[in-house]
Amino acid sequence: MSTPNKQINFPSKKVAPRFSVIAMILTFLGVAIVCKALYTMTIKRDYWLGGSELLKVDSVPIHPVRGSILACDGRPLAVSLSEYTIALDFKSREKDSLVRLKDQKNRDTLFSKNVDKIVAGICRVLPGLDSVKYKAYLLAGAKDSCQNFPLYPTELDYAKYKNKETRRKIKNKNITYLQLCELRKLPLLSKSAYMGATEVRLRKKPYGQLAYRTVGDYKDRPRFGLELTFDSVLAGEKGYMHYEKVRSANVANIDLAAVDGSDVVTTLDIDMQELCEQTLKNELQRLDADSGAVVLMEVKTGDIKAMVSLQNKGEGYYFEYTPNAISARYEPGSVFKPISFLVAMRDGRITTKDHLTLTSGTHRFATKTMKDDHLVSGTVDVHKIISESINTGTSIMIDNAYHDNPQAFYDGIQSIGAAAHLQLPLDGYLKPYIKNPSDKSRYWSPIDLPWMSIGYATMFSPMNIVNFYAGIANNGKLMYPRLVKAIMKDGQIVKEFEPRVLNESIGTPEDIKYMQDALAEVVRTGTAKRHRSHLVPFSGKTGTAQIWLRSGRTSSNSITFVGYFPSDNPQYACVVNMQKKLPAYGNMCTSAFRIIAERVMAKTAARSYDEAGEAIVKLPPKVQHGNVAASQRVLNELNVKHRTNSNWAGQTVVWGKNQAEEGIPQLVSNNFEKGVVPDVKGYGLTDAVYLLKKQGLKVKVTGRGSVSEQSLSEGHKIKPGETIHLTLSPVRGKNKKKEEEPTTQQAVVPEKKDTIKKQG
């Protein structure tokens, strides 16, 4: 039996209109898409093609390593070093949720289990951290799941870090590569995904502010000094790279490799530079001077071994703000007199046989009277005029020689190279100024020539003055100063700067020898005799010039001593220049010159080790109490006989005494109980302070020399925070010399004219 088919009732009248609407909408959208595509492909074609280029990032710069500035022996004066800032992620950065949960659990577990070890390790490697405060700081950061959390902050105050307004004040300090390597050994910090390190490339000066204005400064860009002059050499060349997406990582591909900068090798000697800076600073403080400069150079080559410029910025603080050694031009005063006489001798207008008869300490030139600081009368020659620094004698001779033709005197100064442009590779250098008689823009007065002859109406920097005296010391051969010796790349010299001759001869051999004798006499019996050295014979000239203000008055002088040493075989030329309030005399600078000369020659003197050994055997050295292990190493190195009560080979510190006051040293070790005051009488200050602080004492010291008395006796039980007072043996002698100040005579009107006699 079959069942009848049931008729399906389909509401076509309701559904059909709906399909029609949907079809119309889809058709409209399709047409719109096609129209938009046509619009983009035609009218907007150029815009989108350009946009694709803008969005393309494929030229990432690679910054080269900046070259170093080196001293003459290769030690670095300025070098580029990488430091790092470190931060810890307490919160995982994984994109996948499952991986992120697993990674977060590992982070939390590692940190909670090793927090004490991490804190102890970081506090051991990084200085200035308090372990208790640091642990609280880390725990607070972990609790809030901080990312990029600074691990070496300037302040261990999490409340400030959490506050957005004060967070910027907490900076992340830099650490060195060696410190980073030590931190990588700690749990959790070993993985870069947990602790990130950002490289910061810095310009470092291993010797601090030594030769600050000469070496220069670099902060994002070169500012002055050699850093600025040789920037193109030091900077190197940039490289470029691009990143390609390989799977889930960006892979760097180098398109153009960076070329690191070359090294600049200077003529500066670090030890001599430090000696000159410290000596000048001490003398400026002692004399309460406003500023000063020192230049030390080799006579034969013109190599600048040291160059210092210091200015007083208040309360006895001296710093090298401006390069006064090359940029501060003052009237040189009497140090110009040898230049005047060498010019006149070269022109044949004055000879070494000429002499002058003086009757008083004054002489009138046209409308102005010149006065000497001290009365000189009788017959004087060029030799005596220079050694005694007689102003009137110099001016009378030069005025008589060039009165009718002052232009010849000016031309002579230019021709011998005294006022030459020295072509120094430093910003700020100023060429000397000398008043030119033919310059129509400036009035030439009849008194200009005599005053120019003694260093007025001229402006010289210390560099030009010392360079000319180096020419006198070099038997008349004048060199250009040399500050840079070579350019090096990867340890190989790519460009060398040879010494250059400025003038083959600034005078005849006879005239140069005569001038050398006169400059030696300045120190033996002349204006610098009070500061002559019994260790190093040196020659030179004192000079004093007033610094005039716009008001036409002055209370300050520029004082100078310039010369060379040793006198019999000149190796170095040096100038010491200061600006100070009255009283001020050129011989005040001679003390600093003498100290520099003696210590430079002590450093460079060649000794015979055999002779030194024999001398030591004959006269055994006096060995102080203290670290007898160190004393034994020195005695062994010098092959000096000595006795000990034990063998301390391999031990760095062994405390003891030398029981033999004379003869062969007898070194005996002592054992000190912890927490008990040891007997340090006879110890040197360094050893005594080191030992006492190690025992837990605070130390106060008076006097100089070795320890003669101690406030706490041997065997005293040390209390926490207790202080011991040490008295050092007194200084055996004093070496305070009063500065020689030339006496000033009352002006006397001459009764008869000074006369000059010329012999054939």
Tens digits of residue pLDDT in 127-150: 989 999 999 999 999 998 898 899
What is the DSSP secondary-structure string of 47-82?
A: HHHHHHHHH----EEEPPPPPPEE-TTS-EEEEEEE
End-to-end CA distance of the chain: 168
Between CA 389 and CA 730 the distance in angstroms is: 41
Task: Identify the pLDDT of residue 728.
Answer: 84
Q: Which residues contact 396 (CB under 8 A, 6 or more apart)?
A: 356, 363, 450, 754, 756
Tokens of 316: 């006895």
Between CA 449 and CA 454 the distance in angstroms is: 9
Task: Identify the pLDDT of residue 656.
Answer: 83
Between CA 543 and CA 560 the distance in angstroms is: 5
The residues that bridge with 533 in the sheet, in sequence order, are none
Which residues, given as ranges, of the chain have pLDDT below 70? 1-13, 48-58, 245-250, 548-555, 605-620, 649-650, 661-663, 730-760
H-helix or E-strand spanning residue 613: helix 609-618
Between CA 240 and CA 340 the distance in angstroms is: 60
Contact 696, 675 (CB under 8 A): yes
Task: Identify the pLDDT of residue 643.
Answer: 79
| Each residue's pLDDT tens digit, 16-36 | 777 778 888 888 888 889 888
Instruction: Give the type of residue at 320.
Output: E
Task: Identify the pLDDT of residue 748.
Answer: 31
Q: Which residues contact 514 (CB under 8 A, 6 or more apart)?
A: 352, 382, 383
Average pLDDT of the chain, as a whole number = 84
Task: Identify the pLDDT of residue 613.
Answer: 43
Between CA 622 and CA 633 the distance in angstroms is: 15
Percent of the chain with pLDDT over 70: 88
Task: Identify the pLDDT of residue 609.
Answer: 45
**77-94 burial by CB neighbour count: b if 16+ within 10 A, else e?**
bbbbbebbbbbbbbbbee
Place of tokens 């950061």: 141
pTM above 0.85, yes or no: no
Task: Identify the pLDDT of residue 692.
Answer: 84
Question: Packing angle between helix 509-524 and helix 462-473, nearest 10 degrees?
Answer: 110
Between CA 291 and CA 310 the distance in angstroms is: 6
Q: Residue 9: how many CB atoms within 10 A of its CB?
A: 6
Tokens of 243: 């990143």
Contact 654, 648 (CB under 8 A): yes
The residues that bridge with 579 in the sheet, in sequence order, are 291, 558
Between CA 597 and CA 594 the distance in angstroms is: 5
User: Which DSSP category does 333 fall into?
Assistant: G
3-state SS class at 550: coil
Q: What are phi and psi of 223, to 5 degrees?
A: -110, -40
The residues that bridge with 614 in the sheet, in sequence order, are none
Between CA 238 and CA 579 the distance in angstroms is: 46
Q: Which residues contact 652 (CB under 8 A, 6 or more apart)?
A: 629, 630
Between CA 510 and CA 504 the distance in angstroms is: 15
Bond from prior residue into 583 cis (ω within 30 degrees of 0) = yes
| Pick from 290, 287, 294: nearest CA to 273 | 294
